Structure 1
Amino acid sequence: MAKKEATPMMVQYQKIKDQYPDAFLFYRLGDFYELFNEDAIKGSQLLELTLTNRSRNAAHPVPMCGVPHKAAQNYIDILVDQGYKVAICEQMEDPRLTKGMVKREVIQLVTPGTQVDVGSQNAKTNNYLTAVVYEADQRAFGFAYADLSTGELKVAKLTDQAELVNELVSLQTKETVVDGQLPATYQEVIKKLGILISHQSALPVNASVSYLSQDVDNELLKRVVKLLLDYIQTTQKRSLQHLKRAVVYEPSDFLELDHNSQYNLELTRNIRTGKKSGTLLWLLDQTKTAMGGRKLKQWIERPLVNRSKILSRHDAVEVLLDHYYERSQLQDELIKVYDLERLAGRIAFGSVNGRDLIQLKTSLQQVPKVKYILEQIADDSFEKMLKNLVPLDDIVDEIQRSIVDQPPISVTDGGVIKDGFNKQLDQYRDASNNGQKWLTELEAKERRVTGINNLKVGFNHVFGYYIEVTKVNLDKVPDNRYQRKQTLANAERFSTPELKEKEALILEAQEQSKTLEYKLFVQIRDQIKKSIKRIQALADAIATIDVLQSFASVSEEYRFVRPKLAKDHQVDVVEGRHPVVEKVLGHQQYVPNDVKMGNDTSILLITGPNMSGKSTYMRQMALSVIMNQMGCFIPAKKAQLPIFDKIFTRIGAADDLISGQSTFMVEMKEANDAIENATPNSLILFDEIGRGTATYDGMALAQAIIEYVHNNIGAKTLFSTHYHELTSLDNSLKHLQNVHVGATESNGELVFLHKIQPGPADKSYGIHVAKLAGLPNGVLSRAAHILSGLEKKANQMAEKPTSTSEQPVTKHHRPNQEEQISLFPLEQVDDNQAEVVSQLRNLDLMSKTPMQIMNQVYKWQQKINRE
């Protein structure tokens, strides 16, 4: 739009828009928020709005679209959920009282990381805003995160890029704030994770930042906390009184789980669906409050390593488990507790309404009941929680005295404050109510005087109060008193001097009543705001109690037991189970297994056929460790576990598309991560290391990794493999033990026992598994014939004398492709079958899902049947 054509309003709009070039500007215009120019074009597409034009007859009409201000939140949420920012620009003056342009300014910038209206579907999920700074001299990152809806604020020093990526992914942050000094290479890494990067320049230090960072004594950490708070203050432009003082944490304060391990173990997100269902969180979540649900997720992602804290949680779970009646009472009270953390946030923001205060009152009324129940059964493990369960009777009394039991949503339209709370308000209401009574009496009187039975007294916001007479009765209107006010199609509206006088009194009373009522509500809100820290301490205690009762309930329902904490590094799990798989399959269908690793055993080498349960066995061990160190009981008949410091997993086959890395490269990087960072107190799960490359390469790598872990690390390691040649390592590695998943043949059919047994598996049963997958009989017969020949060839080569220049061939020798083809020519097989056999020979079953295998088998059947 050419500047000479710009109206004063559009000049004002553009000036504000220039301050927020990366955000949609919601520009308040009367009862609508309008979007203009590029915002309107893009916004109309994203929000499915009608695109129109302003000044359509001008040479350069302005694209525009709009949304009603009362429905704006839904549209804002849609944009922010898609990764955009929204600047909310409000009218700062009453247009009726202003000459010329109404003053407008942005009152809030809503961004993916600062969104606080999360909706009920995300009530148990945190929305973290993160910040990153880099100190080149230290080669370290300052990292901070906050949840604006709950007030949580944490900060840590991270030593490398891997730690940074792990924290960003684990927190599932949508937005990261950076300063001008973060190298572009690290910004690119963050962008590749799908995280929005926001830039923030430094602001002058203020009292709020100083207060919130007073417990931080490291300059790098102070710097990143200030960066985060500067961005929050810049975007929110309102009170942040509910933010808690920054807490410094070390990743080593908790059981370290990188994001790959969290993903592979499906702790909070299902690998296939990305949802909560089918995860450990899904299984353990019997919390009754939103804040309890959030704390449970935090405990799952950050299990403890402190022995006394773990024991304290175990003690509390045991007490609750042993007191079923009191636990049931506790659950009944917790259900009535609303989200105190986010209520405190809304109070601080000034966005709380009457219904929120009633929820606060209802929640606080449960506190004495919760405290009484716990006092009947509590031991030392509940001491801190009981200390923070302080009933806030003063707040309850204030809300009870002032707010009606069923207030409207709006706090500006009246009807929120109780009668009798304020004398002046009662007077205004009395005047308004008496006025309404007078109007009713006036209508009855005028009907009698005029003889017009359908005469009525009404009101609208444009013309005020009026007397309406239908046109057929106009001849009965007394000309000396009635003054014409408005003409309608079928009626005329009139006023009288008496009605005008009463109208002024009624409207003044109503307006004064609303104004005073809102003022009183703000005073009540500000009074409660002084108690935000008390409310937050109470919320934390209730959330902790809620998680512990959830642990007790789940432990009772699924027969979990309290594990003993070993002082050495022994693992002794009797009849352990994978809790999620067991829930899906049912208790009767699941086969439990022991995990026994004494001080003299660091590696279990696990062999057995595909689909027999090796991966499940490994995962259930990791989940038992995590559940134990969260403070929960574990799925077993009896268990003794050490406290692990880290868990590393290499499970499943997946490409890293973001980095452009193949399955095998991902496999090697995850293996390297474990080798470089594991300690003797770590747990390592390696599933089929080496399968992504040629047989001998893979076998050599697998053996070298096993030897390195055994000789140099000593971590407890579960290593599953199809390389049966590796089972001979128990002869040279004294801390390695062979186990296998049992399977047997019955009438030519493979039967999985799903039971871990000592010693190596006697065979791989690959052809039997292919039969279970549905491969055609012709293919299976051909494969069996090839296998027989290969085994015969291997035996012959093993018996053949070797010269000094020849390498001995073991009985496990696997001929390469050329040897296979020369041994077993396909002249007797038709072309289609030959092609199927060739494809079968090269099929990597371990990299395929069951559905992919079924689809491939179907294609082979179709190919063979065509003959």
Structure 2
Amino acid sequence: MAQAAIRSIARARPADEAVSASGPAVPGATPMMAQYIEIKAANPDCLLFYRMGDFYELFFEDAEVASRALGIVLTKRGKHAGADIPMCGVPIDRADDYLNRLIALGHRVAVCEQTEDPADAKKRGPKSVVRREVVRLVTPGTITEDRLLDPGRANLLLAIGRRKVAEDAFAYGLAALDISTGRFSLSEVTGADLSGAVARHDPREIVLSEAIHADPALARLWKDVSAPVTPLAQAELEPASAERRIKAQFGVSTLEGFGSFSRAEVAAAGAALLYIERTQIGARPPLSPPAREASGATLSIDAATRANLELTRTLSGERAGSLLDAIDRTVSASGARLLAEHLAGPLMKLKAIARRQEAVAFLFEDHALRRSLRDALARAPDLARALSRLGLGRGGPRDLAAIRDGLDAAALIAARLSEVQALPDGLGRLGKHLAGADTDLVETLRAALADELPLNRRDGNFVRASYHPEIDEARLLGQDSRKVIAALQARYADETGCRTLRIKHNNVLGYYIEVPQAVGESCLKGLMRETFVHRQTMVDAMRFTSVELGELETKISGASDRTLALEGAVFEELATSVLAQTAAIAQVAEALAGLDVAGSHAELAVEQSWARPQVDDSLAFAIEGGRHPVVEAALRRTGEPFIANDCDLSGEGRGRIRLITGPNMGGKSTFLRQNALIAVLAQMGAFVPAARAHIGLVDRLFSRVGAADDLARGQSTFMVEMVETAAILNQASRRSLVILDEIGRGTATFDGLSIAWACLEHLHEVNSCRALFATHFHELTALSQRLARLDNATLRVAEHRGEVVFLHEVVPGVAERSYGLQVARLAGLPAGVIVRAGAILKGLEKAERDRPGRPRIDDLPLFASLAPPPPPEPPAPAEDDALGAMLDAIDPDAMTPREALEALYGLKRERAATR
């Protein structure tokens, strides 16, 4: 294995130094392998895709890793240092599929291409190898290819910087950058809010300084995040260099035009741009100017609450079953991404919420406008990602077509909106942004691009016929050279008067003119003697050439290459025209996405009968007929109805708390979650699943519903529960909404009851927030007599013939009992266990009545066995059972309706006589 050689080369020179064509002096290595080792040394933390012909090859440990990860065959190629060299490879035309799998597994890949023609390499000597260079590093946060991206999910790279604000406290700057769309935003949060901010952005990759990565206080956060974390050297992230990078990226001399940024935000932005510069090998993606998110602009939701509420993904990591999946009615990829962004960061500004609601309400009412807009949006390609690929030099003809079709759709939508009277402000702004599309650019692209387009520009044949005369000529030469030669032959025959003149071709002379020997001299007198040049005299023929034929031969032999070169020039010209309007096209893309989200909300509201909520600056929280959007959608697929419930936590100056008791499976958790989700939907500007809703702004949303062991950190279920509860009690304000389920159930009964009791009092007296508190500790219901803003509620249950029926209806009051045995029976516990549990329960209840306090085990009778008791003996028949005898004598199938009625009257008479 050549790892020692690779390490020595890595120490000997910087990673970005050019790789020589002859390769370094690696003892025992072939020139090609020496080149590979040198390039690998410059990229030790990446799998190296090394271009060899039509394959990307991997060697040594990279080959072993890729072989296992991709399930491809591991082979050998020669020897190095006395050992076989492991090798595997992937075909270039399928490289994206393999890259996608490697990136999904957390690997980074360096793509090494041939940057020299093999013919030029041979001129330097027989042992020279083709020059190769790493043209990009493929990492999870820097992907731009459509086939590697999730259309409906942003592909964010999140960079983190920090500044000290106190002796032991830092403020953290976040730079969220998506090079696939150009999105670039900056924000600053406190240390306590860092994990929640990271969860909100849901990045694909995180970069930060080595100092931040090594901070023990943040070690748990880096373990929790699912995205790979890449530390950068502290020396490369100096504030002055960070500011220079931002200025260079946007070609400005000062950052004041973008707004006021903190040192932590500038540091984060500099780290993000440094990482982009490295991974793109100097290429600069077309980024939007950095937009600063004001502190407190969005509803704060911590990571645990996001997971518990399953906003964008379920606890198992799937999109299906999440709130995002249930509400998504978008028809475009950009709209789907914006919807996810809105859901991740509900608003805190009433004007912005109202602007979104007005747009949704207008489309909700105008069915024809909504349908026409959604039809047009469904035909609009992903402008933002096509523009980014063109900016990075990775675009293809289909990206140009996407720009054409997207701008065309934008113009049609803008025209449609201009016909509508009294548009709300939100829709009006979007319409103005769409109207900025350049119609001249659309017409140029329409005239230049063919109907059927290849994926890559190197495939050629994407320029429309008649757009470029030289391309048409080159294609004609390349595709139908026989017709061109025949036309020239006919002209020469006509001009010379020699009807036997032929233009022929062989491998020695190439194209030549041939006439019979007998007529050669007579045909080639005068002017044609000056045009034709004698080449060869045969026994029965003479051969000539001409300047025109020589030029034509040159054109024919290089027609294919010339066609590709000309089409490449046209592509560059069109791409330059597109990139000259980057800002305007990006604005159009944002407007299309905004319209799609508004239309999605309106479509969902019509489809599901959702209502526009009233959102204001009060402490109201009044929901009438509220439903859980995800559960309701699941029930609708099975044809079952969802039981709607009201919830009122409104208060004057301080919020109310509702204490909810009731059986498991009664619907407590669903009720808790649905009210939290209604608050999220309301503040993101959507309609909500309720008959009516009045919600005062919620500044923080907390949820502790369910828990699980965290064995990796050595934390039990109860410890996880207490950590999450502590975060709530320490951070909730009177504007917060808190939902808590079964606090204290993870420990001994009296310990848990005491903790739940104290938490409830703290929420009431200290936090003063709006809260839903579900519990099985019925003792807590007595607190409603002492805590003025505490109400009791329960889930209605009915019993029928010994079976429990859950009605899922929330009503005022207290649950009579927990119905735990009934739920256990429904779960399939053995009958003997159910019977035994019932006996123990009766004993415990009797002991509690006889001697208040905690019953002891030895106070209870002990069953000798847990085996189910024998079935009861059937009762012996009565000696004189006249009624039974009459029933035995009846054959219902053989009776007429009249006979059946007479028999029934007879049974009633007999019954009356025996009483």
| Helix, strand or coil at the partner of 1:641 | strand
Once the two structures are superposed, residues 328-360 of structure 1 have per-residue CA deviations (whole angstroms, 9 ceiling, x without a partner) of 111111110011110111111111111221222
Once the two structures are superposed, residues 137-173 of structure 1 have per-residue CA deviations (whole angstroms, 9 ceiling, x without a partner) of 552222222111011112222221x432223333332
| Residue 181, structure 1, aligned to residue 211, structure 2 | yes
Distance 1:544 1:253 in 2: 18
Distance 1:501 1:188 in 2: 72
Distance 1:50 1:778 in 2: 56
How far off its partner does 1:121 sit? 7.3
| Residue 306, structure 1, aligned to residue 306, structure 2 | no
- Contact 1:481 1:496 (C-alpha < 8 Å) held by counterparts: no
- Contact 1:211 1:245 (C-alpha < 8 Å) held by counterparts: no
| Residue 396, structure 1, aligned to residue 426, structure 2 | no
Residues 9/465 of structure 1: CA separation in 2 closer, same or farther (3 Å cut): farther
Q: Which residue of 1 aligns with 2:581?
A: 531
Instruction: Work out which of the residue numbers 202, 208, 219 in structure 1 matches 2:248.
Output: 208
Once the two structures are superposed, residues 451-496 of structure 1 have per-residue CA deviations (whole angstroms, 9 ceiling, x without a partner) of xxxxxx9999xx9999xxxxxxxxxxxx9989xxxxxxxxxxxx99
- Contact 1:605 1:721 (C-alpha < 8 Å) held by counterparts: yes
Q: Which residue of 2 aligns with 1:92?
A: 115
Instruction: Work out which of the residue numbers 824, 842, 861 in structure 2 matches 1:825.
Output: 861
| Residue 345, structure 1, aligned to residue 388, structure 2 | yes
| Helix, strand or coil at the partner of 2:811 | strand
- Contact 1:34 1:67 (C-alpha < 8 Å) held by counterparts: yes
More displaced stretch, 620-629 vs 276-285: 276-285
Q: Which residue of 2 aligns with 1:671?
A: 725
Q: Which amino acid aligns with 1:46?
A: A
How far off its partner does 1:577 sit? 0.9
Q: How does 1:125-274 map to 2 (within 5 A)?
A: 125-136=153-164, 138=166, 139-160=170-191, 162-184=192-214, 185=216, 186=218, 189-201=221-233, 202=236, 205-206=244-245, 207-209=247-249, 211=251, 214-250=258-294, 252-271=296-315, 273-274=316-317
How far off its partner does 1:234 sit? 1.0
Structure 2, unaligned stretches of length 5 or more? 6-25, 491-503, 513-535, 870-915
| Residue 605, structure 1, aligned to residue 681, structure 2 | no
- Contact 1:191 1:197 (C-alpha < 8 Å) held by counterparts: no
Once the two structures are superposed, residues 751-777 of structure 1 have per-residue CA deviations (whole angstroms, 9 ceiling, x without a partner) of 222111112112222222223223344
More displaced stretch, 65-74 vs 419-428: 419-428
- Contact 2:249 2:284 (C-alpha < 8 Å) held by counterparts: no
**TM-score, normalised via structure 2 length:** 0.80
Once the two structures are superposed, residues 378-417 of structure 1 have per-residue CA deviations (whole angstroms, 9 ceiling, x without a partner) of 2223232122112321220110121112122231343122
Instruction: Work out which of the residue numbers 603, 610, 615 in structure 2 matches 1:560.
Output: 610
Residues 775/57 of structure 1: CA separation in 2 closer, same or farther (3 Å cut): closer
| Residue 115, structure 1, aligned to residue 150, structure 2 | no
Once the two structures are superposed, residues 542-587 of structure 1 have per-residue CA deviations (whole angstroms, 9 ceiling, x without a partner) of 1011011100010011110111224421222111111111111137
- Contact 1:565 1:643 (C-alpha < 8 Å) held by counterparts: yes
Larger Cα-atom Rg: 2
Distance 1:632 1:9 in 2: 60
Once the two structures are superposed, residues 153-211 of structure 1 have per-residue CA deviations (whole angstroms, 9 ceiling, x without a partner) of 12222221x43222333333232212233251335641453432323342853443465
Residues 770/61 of structure 1: CA separation in 2 closer, same or farther (3 Å cut): closer
More displaced stretch, 304-313 vs 743-752: 743-752
Q: Which residue of 2 aligns with 1:415?
A: 461
Distance 1:593 1:704 in 2: 28
Distance 2:488 2:76 in 1: 49
Q: Which residue of 1 aligns with 2:878?
A: none
Residues 399/746 of structure 1: CA separation in 2 closer, same or farther (3 Å cut): same
Distance 1:84 1:501 in 2: 52
Q: Which residue of 1 aligns with 2:677?
A: 623
| Helix, strand or coil at the partner of 2:598 | helix
- Contact 2:844 2:860 (C-alpha < 8 Å) held by counterparts: no
Residues 516/779 of structure 1: CA separation in 2 closer, same or farther (3 Å cut): closer
Distance 1:529 1:464 in 2: 45
Residues 781/238 of structure 1: CA separation in 2 closer, same or farther (3 Å cut): same
Q: Which amino acid aligns with 1:352?
A: G
Distance 2:505 2:848 in 1: 103
Residues 504/61 of structure 1: CA separation in 2 closer, same or farther (3 Å cut): farther
Distance 2:484 2:438 in 1: 45
How far off its partner does 1:677 sit? 0.7
How far off its partner does 1:507 sit? 1.5
| Helix, strand or coil at the partner of 1:333 | helix
Residues 141/403 of structure 1: CA separation in 2 closer, same or farther (3 Å cut): same
| Helix, strand or coil at the partner of 1:253 | coil
Instruction: Work out which of the residue numbers 387, 401, 413 in structure 1 matches 2:432.
Output: 387
Structure 1, unaligned stretches of length 5 or more? 445-456, 467-478, 483-494, 798-808, 835-867
Q: Which residue of 2 aligns with 1:362?
A: 405
Once the two structures are superposed, residues 389-447 of structure 1 have per-residue CA deviations (whole angstroms, 9 ceiling, x without a partner) of 12321220110121112122231343122233334334433444562325789999xxx
- Contact 2:29 2:80 (C-alpha < 8 Å) held by counterparts: no
How far off its partner does 1:31 sit? 2.6
Distance 2:356 2:611 in 1: 14
- Contact 2:662 2:776 (C-alpha < 8 Å) held by counterparts: yes
Once the two structures are superposed, residues 727-764 of structure 1 have per-residue CA deviations (whole angstroms, 9 ceiling, x without a partner) of 00011111101111111222222122211111211222
Q: How does 1:10-21 map to 2 (within 5 A)?
A: 10-21=33-44
| Helix, strand or coil at the partner of 1:527 | helix
- Contact 1:89 1:105 (C-alpha < 8 Å) held by counterparts: yes
Q: Which residue of 1 aligns with 2:836?
A: 782
Distance 1:70 1:422 in 2: 29
After superposition, the CA RMSD in angstroms is: 3.0
How far off its partner does 1:52 sit? 2.9
| Helix, strand or coil at the partner of 1:705 | helix
Residues 625/103 of structure 1: CA separation in 2 closer, same or farther (3 Å cut): same
How far off its partner does 1:504 sit? 3.9
Alignment identity in percent? Answer: 36
Distance 2:41 2:808 in 1: 65
Distance 1:481 1:311 in 2: 93
Q: Which residue of 2 aligns with 1:843?
A: none
Q: Which amino acid aligns with 1:41?
A: E
- Contact 2:77 2:84 (C-alpha < 8 Å) held by counterparts: yes
Q: Which residue of 1 aligns with 2:73?
A: 50
Residues 418/678 of structure 1: CA separation in 2 closer, same or farther (3 Å cut): same
Q: Which amino acid aligns with 1:175?
A: E
| Helix, strand or coil at the partner of 2:783 | helix
- Contact 2:96 2:147 (C-alpha < 8 Å) held by counterparts: no
Distance 2:552 2:148 in 1: 47
Q: How does 1:281-680 map to 2 (within 5 A)?
A: 281-375=324-418, 376=420, 378-390=423-435, 391-432=437-478, 435-437=481-483, 504-586=554-636, 589-599=641-651, 602-680=656-734
More displaced stretch, 777-786 vs 305-314: 777-786
Residues 723/57 of structure 1: CA separation in 2 closer, same or farther (3 Å cut): closer
Q: Which residue of 2 aligns with 1:30?
A: 53
| Helix, strand or coil at the partner of 2:319 | coil
How far off its partner does 1:673 sit? 0.8
Residues 568/481 of structure 1: CA separation in 2 closer, same or farther (3 Å cut): farther
Q: Which residue of 2 aligns with 1:729?
A: 783
Q: Which amino acid aligns with 1:772?
A: L
Once the two structures are superposed, residues 47-92 of structure 1 have per-residue CA deviations (whole angstroms, 9 ceiling, x without a partner) of 2333333335983443322223333222222211211111111222
Q: Which amino acid aligns with 1:530?
A: A
Q: Which residue of 2 aligns with 1:858?
A: none
**TM-score, normalised via structure 1 length:** 0.84
How far off its partner does 1:779 sit? 3.0
